[in-house]
Amino acid sequence: MEAIFSIEFTAYVALAVLLYAIREATNIPNRYIPIVAVFLGVAFAGFENRAFSFEVLVAGLKYALYGIGSVATVKYALEKGEERK
């Protein structure tokens, strides 16, 4: 249960929610969402570690990939739910 409430899991969820909100609220084309996710993920990892190194860059990319995957999963689930109605 501790793993669910860890800072890393919270970062994934926060980034996914932020990306979903940006996607829904702005007119940014879907092809630019991964670029936005990379910038936000690296920025969050840098803020979290208060430094910048290769490990921070990799952690930021990991946050971005998980965030993009989460947004895609939610989008797919919502679209499939509407098709069933």
pLDDT in tens for each of the 85 residues of the chain?
Answer: 555 556 667 777 888 888 888 888 988 888 898 899 999 999 988 988 898 999 999 989 998 998 888 888 888 888 887 777 6
Tell me phi and psi for residue 5, to 5 degrees: -95, 15
Residue 46: CB atoms within 10 A of its CB come to: 16
What pTM was computed for the model? Answer: 0.77
User: Are the beta carbons of 46 and 52 closer than 8 angstroms?
Assistant: yes
